[in-house]
Amino acid sequence: MVTSADFQRLRELWADRHGATQEQWHELFRRVEAVLRRARILEGLDRADMVQGYFCDRVLCGRGASIPDHEAALLAWFQRYQLDQLSRERPGDLSWDESCEGCQGAPVVDAPDPGAELFRHQRAARISAFFESLSEDERVLLQVSHCDGESVLSVQDQYRIRSAHYRSKQLGIVLGRNTLPEEWGRSKIGRMVAELGLRIDATMGEDLLQVFRLLCERARQWWEARA
């Protein structure tokens, strides 16, 4: 049972999320998950996948200022999110930004002490170096498609990137619905995750959220300097 005090705490964390510590992100995820346990899941969808996807898309990577006023509002937003997933034009392929890239059987990571604040400091330099190794087209795909939520096709047309869908799969931000963890592990991001010493698994790992958050932070810095 989520009390009014619990939900108020959720609202506070949600409002301050862009400046949140890793511990606060983990707390926010637990509180959002507690509310969404009560949600009705549409046929053909998996609850854990949808909760993780919603959190990554709408909370972790979301840039809107809206905050749910009450449980019913959050449940309604989650219902619309599920409908969005079912109505996608290309249901056979999901991008990381579309489904948190930790959903629909996508690979994720598991590591000891995922809540350690040192994770950011220990991994940020390696993640930044990885970003620097990407081509400009790959950086655009990461920033605009994954971090900002534009479709790969839209990014391909707008920025004239050839074979954008294929290149997104090679990068690791788009995967087939039946992609296995070991297959994603061969993508560029998957290999980088393995080099960080994180075990690729088929369950949602909090460290993977941190990896993608750090990637998006670095991509945003590059994008703003590029403008």
Q: Mean pLDDT of residues grouped by 10 in the chain (227 residues)?
A: 86 89 88 90 82 82 75 84 65 44 35 45 83 95 86 88 90 72 85 83 61 87 89
How far, CA to CA in Å, does 94 sit from each of 34, 73, 172?
A: 25, 26, 11
Q: What is the pLDDT of residue 206?
A: 64
pLDDT of residue 203: 47
Phi, psi of 95 (to 5 degrees): -95, 160
The dihedral region occupied by 105, where left means phi > 0, alpha psi between -120 and 50, and beta the remainder, is: left
The DSSP H or E segment spanning 176 is strand 174-176
- Which pLDDT score is estimated for 88? 54
Residue 104 pLDDT: 32
pLDDT for res 3: 85
Q: Which of 224, 187, 192 is nearest to 211 (CA)?
A: 192
Please give the pLDDT value at position 35: 92
Model pLDDT, residue 221 = 92
For residue 168 the two structure tokens come to 């997104």
